[in-house]
Amino acid sequence: MNADQVIERVQLWRRFNYGTFLPGAVVVAEHDWLAYVQAMADAVPEGELLHMPTELDVLWAWPAGVCIVFAEPQQVDHTIVSQDSPERPFVTVPVPAHTESQLVAGMCVCSPQLSRTQLPDGTPMDDVQAYPLLWIGTEPGDIISGHWLPGSAMHVSATGVLSHSSRLQLAIVTALGHRLTRYDAITGTRPERRRAERELPGLRVLQLSTGASVRSEALPTRSGREWSRRWMVRGHWHTVAYGPRKSLRRPQWYDPYVKGPEDKPLDVRPTLWRATQGGAS
């Protein structure tokens, strides 16, 4: 996307009733970065109760929120548990949990707000800070909302698994701050760049860096086997225990890195992130 296309899209969003909630900061997610976070989302571990990371965990740099414009639409599946009330504006009512698919043009993490929470048994808890989320469809009136409550449990769908949108939300929040994400200036003609500086100051493009970690790990030698090469380990999630008596679990992303004896040649087999239906691989 060029600068004019990004400006026009954001201006269109701001004309809708949710426009006043949109953050001023805007970034553009390019193809490779989107494919990478889709692959991260597909790799989120299942089968245990996971908690969302905190701002510190993901090196969050957007205290007032950020709008992420997708250079390519993304198919996202949501678990819907409430909808707008037809009688009362800005009021939601519960509905039977079900899945809806949305062709998404962007996602906005809005400025944090105090949110009232409760335990599963309905017991109210203290107000906490949460980041409202807006998934904006290719039809800008198609909005699905959610929230990022740092440190909170990730809710499973009616089928007992994490929804695709929850996994993608985790991946995006995590990837924005990890070192394989590069922030570049947007390209375009000189007038386009000047317009972007004037109307969307600070506009940046999210690119996937090609540099993986150079740390090497020697393998255990109890088997007596000598390795003749080094190789790349793909990025993956690892479940980290934390909290009181290490009773809570949160996913932590590990970037790709080099494994094997340092004095051996590196066997380079490039990983290609390709888009698939509902994700990437």
| Residue 134 parent element (H or E) | strand 128-137
13 and 68 inside one domain? yes
40 and 105 inside one domain? yes
CA gap 24, 63 in Å, rounded: 11
Q: Would you give per-residue pLDDT tens digits along the chain (281 residues)?
A: 888 999 999 999 999 999 999 999 999 999 889 988 998 898 888 767 888 999 999 999 999 999 999 999 999 999 877 777 666 655 667 778 788 899 999 999 999 988 765 544 455 556 778 999 999 999 999 999 999 999 888 877 656 678 899 999 999 999 999 888 889 988 888 888 888 889 998 899 998 876 544 444 444 444 456 667 666 677 788 888 888 888 888 888 887 766 666 666 656 555 554 544 444 44
Cβ-based neighbour number of residue 65 at 10 Å: 19
249 and 200 inside one domain? no
Alpha helices by DSSP H, 64-222: 164-175, 190-199
Q: What pLDDT shows up at residue 224?
A: 54
Beta strand pairing call for 204-208 and 181-185: antiparallel
Give the domain-ending residue among 178, 208, 238: 208
CA gap 111, 196 in Å, rounded: 22
Q: How far apart are the first and last CA of the chain?
A: 23
Domain carrying residue 253: 230-280
Sign, CA torsion 267/270/276/278: positive
74 and 173 inside one domain? yes
126 and 64 inside one domain? yes
